[in-house]
Structure 1
Amino acid sequence: MFSRHKSGASSSPSGSTDPVAKAAEIEGSGTPSGGGPTGKGRPTPKRNVAQAANKRPLVPNDRKAATKAAREKAREQRNIEYRAMQTGDERHLPPRDKGPEKRFVRDYVDARWNLGEFFLPVAFGFIVLNFLFLSNATMSIVILMLLYGVVLLTIADAFLLWHGLKKRMRAKFGVVGTDGKKSYVPQKGTMMYAVMRAFQIRRSRLPRPSSKKHGVWPE
Structure 2
Amino acid sequence: MEGLRVADADLVVYIHPSKANKIKQAVLRQLSSALLFQFNENFDGVVLAYDEQFQSNKAKITPGIVPNLGVKLKAKLLLFSPKPDMLLEGKVVKLGKESIHVIVLGFSSAAITFEDIREEFKYKTKHGESVFASMSHKRHVIKVGSMIRFLVKSFDEEILHISGSLIPPHTGCIRWLYRHTIEEVSQLDRSLKKQREKDLEVEMQEQDTQVDAAFTSSIHRHKSKRKRTAEES
For normalisation by structure 2, the TM-score amounts to 0.22
For normalisation by structure 1, the TM-score amounts to 0.23
Greater strand percent: which structure? Answer: 2
Greater RCO structure (CA 8 Å; 6+ sep):
1
Greater helix percent: which structure? Answer: 1
Larger CA Rg, structure 1 vs 2 = 1
